[in-house]
């Protein structure tokens, strides 16, 4: 049966406020910056736009505030081609906002996010008829943890009951997540820090430690397929079907200007490729290439490619 959407994302919407400087400040230090920009962000919306730009038919489930930032973001997503029917305006909370400092010497960042309306997403909100129908009509559904856990949990429950492929980007990392939620996830995507928080394993810095974390995610959390992204080193994939690890190397790129949102580019590209029926290993390889390309441009969504990088 034909699906209404290739990708449905239930997640966060944040306006991004970027400050660039030659390096990041130390605690208590004030430094002079080199550039300031505003942009569209939030892990959920970033992932949705990344997939949409590659040609997927996408829909977004989320909340914005009744303010100018919300109006701008709604129009932005609509212009990108994202279906916005499931976005709701919250009259009591502002649109989510993120303050991002970027050191241009290496592209590293420091981020503070204020959820605002995004933080008001609940399981009841996800269980609205319009949201349920969108989730059931998708090939792939993506969730993250910038929204309340109950909202992501409800999304995954509805998707699995409809036999929809599910991706959980467990970011930002959290402790104490309900183990039952992982059983609803087909593909778990985390970086090293997020894997540390979920598993309790400290200092994941190499492939051996990453494999140990994946073993715990599979054995203790009942995860199926697991991807740990490793920044400039690429990603490590555990394919549960073949019961094999695949190390996916990242291409060497320079100059690295801004790593903000590269992980979201990875997830959106991965979902797009899976929706196009790529196998998981191939999809991971393409996602690593596109995420690597994104660090060459300042900003989050502004850096996302419109095609798969070869």
Active site residues: 264
Query: What is d(CA 110, CA 238) in angstroms, rounded to the nearest whole number?
Result: 29
Q: Tell me the pairing of strands 109-114 and 96-103.
A: antiparallel
H or E element that contains 175: none
Query: What is d(CA 22, CA 291) in angstroms, rounded to the nearest whole number?
Result: 23
CA 236 and chain centroid, separation: 17
Query: What is d(CA 54, CA 292) in angstroms, rounded to the nearest whole number?
Result: 16
Dmax (CA) of the chain? 58
Rg (CA), the chain: 18
- Return the bridge partners of 101, or none: 19, 110
- Return the bridge partners of 34, or none: none
Residue linked to tokens 């909202």: 151
* Residue 52 contacts residue 82 (beta carbons within 8 Å): yes
Number of other residues whose CB lies within 10 A of the CB of residue 257: 18
C-alpha distances in angstroms, 3 versus 33, 107, 138, 218? 47, 39, 6, 30
Dihedral pair phi/psi, residue 186, rounded to 5°: -80, -45
Helices (H), 36-110: 43-53, 68-80
Query: What is d(CA 299, CA 261) in angstroms, rounded to the nearest whole number?
Result: 8
**Hey, is 265 helix, strand or coil?**
helix
Query: What count of residues does the chain have?
Result: 310
């Amino acid at each position: 049966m034909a699906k209404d959407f290739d990708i449905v994302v239930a997640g966060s919407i944040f306006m991004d406020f970027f400050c660039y400087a030659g390096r990041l400040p130390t605690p208590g230090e004030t430094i002079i910056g080199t550039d300031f920009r505003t942009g569209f962000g939030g892990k959920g919306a970033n992932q949705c736009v990344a997939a949409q730009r590659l040609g997927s038919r996408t829909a977004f489930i989320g909340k914005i505030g009744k303010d100018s930032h919300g109006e701008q973001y709604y129009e932005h997503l609509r212009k990108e081609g994202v279906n916005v029917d499931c976005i709701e305006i919250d009259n009591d909370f502002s649109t989510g906002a993120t303050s991002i400092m970027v050191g241009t010497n290496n592209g590293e960042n420091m981020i503070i996010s204020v959820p605002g309306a995004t933080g008001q997403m609940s399981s009841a909100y996800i269980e609205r008829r319009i949201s349920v129908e969108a989730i059931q009509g998708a090939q792939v559904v993506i969730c993250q943890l910038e929204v309340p856990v109950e909202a992501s949990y409800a999304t995954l429950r509805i998707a699995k009951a409809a036999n929809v492929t599910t991706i959980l980007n467990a970011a930002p990392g959290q402790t104490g997540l309900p183990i039952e939620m992982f059983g609803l996830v087909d593909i778990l995507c985390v970086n090293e820090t997020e894997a540390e928080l979920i598993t309790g394993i400290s200092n994941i810095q190499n492939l051996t430690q990453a494999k140990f974390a994946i073993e715990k995610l599979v054995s203790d959390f009942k995860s199926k397929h697991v991807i740990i992204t490793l920044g400039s080193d690429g990603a490590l994939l555990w394919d549960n079907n073949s019961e094999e690890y695949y190390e996916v190397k990242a291409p060497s790129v320079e100059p690295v200007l801004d790593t903000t949102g590269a992980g979201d580019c990875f997830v959106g590209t991965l979902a797009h490729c899976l929706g196009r029926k790529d196998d998981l290993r191939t999809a991971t390889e393409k996602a690593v290439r596109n995420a690597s390309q994104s660090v060459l441009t300042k900003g989050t969504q502004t850096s996302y490619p419109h095609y798969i990088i070869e």
